[in-house]
Amino acid sequence: MGEILFFTPCYRCKDIFDKRGDQLNFKTEPTSPVQKVLVYTDGASRGNGKEHSVSAYAYFLKWGGYEKTFGKAFENRTNNQMEMLAVIEALKAMKREDIPIELYADSALVVNCLTQHWYRKWERDGWTKKGGLKNADLWKELIYQYRRFKNISIIKVKGHSTNEYNNLVDKECNEKMDEMEAVLLEKNM
């Protein structure tokens, strides 16, 4: 990613990103800010859905020269739940709804739901589907966040490949899961 020149609260992007108590960092002062926000999301799970599994989500936001990476780990969640939470939390971190967004995700489930509008039928049918709709609460929140933005593009990116920012959020997920596993190991000693 390159060296961060300084790490400080960001006064120019405070109206763009929700800081959630942590500081934003940026490499250089942008001379002319990018007119869109790039968002990369990922979710991961070790022991997917099984008892004592460890899962995490992460997102990366980039606007002009400003960047924010965030991740969080959980116990006993699934990979799909983490993929959905990554998108939900990334969009929640956006305070302004008028800036175009390009959202990149490696989850075919999330990307297809949004680009092929699967959610419209689920919504019409009371958030159900034949065979049952898993994670309906997360889908409702994801769609609510998605609809907040008038100009949002959803782009499928291949996971575990050469995309720098997708690899960054994958790494953040793994670091958060490593931290959670260390805490759990220490707790169970």
Q: Which residues are catalytic?
A: 42-43, 83, 106, 160, 170
User: Which residue in 115, 98, 97 sits closest to 107, CA to CA?
Assistant: 115
| Pairing mode, strands 152-156 and 66-75 | unpaired
DSSP structural state of residue 42: E
The residue type found at 12 is R
Given a contact cutoff of 8 angstroms between Cβ atoms, the answer to whether 133 and 122 are in contact is yes
Given a contact cutoff of 8 angstroms between Cβ atoms, the answer to whether 166 and 42 are in contact is yes
Q: How far apart are CA 168 and CA 162, in angstroms?
A: 11
Q: How far apart are CA 19 and CA 104, in angstroms?
A: 21
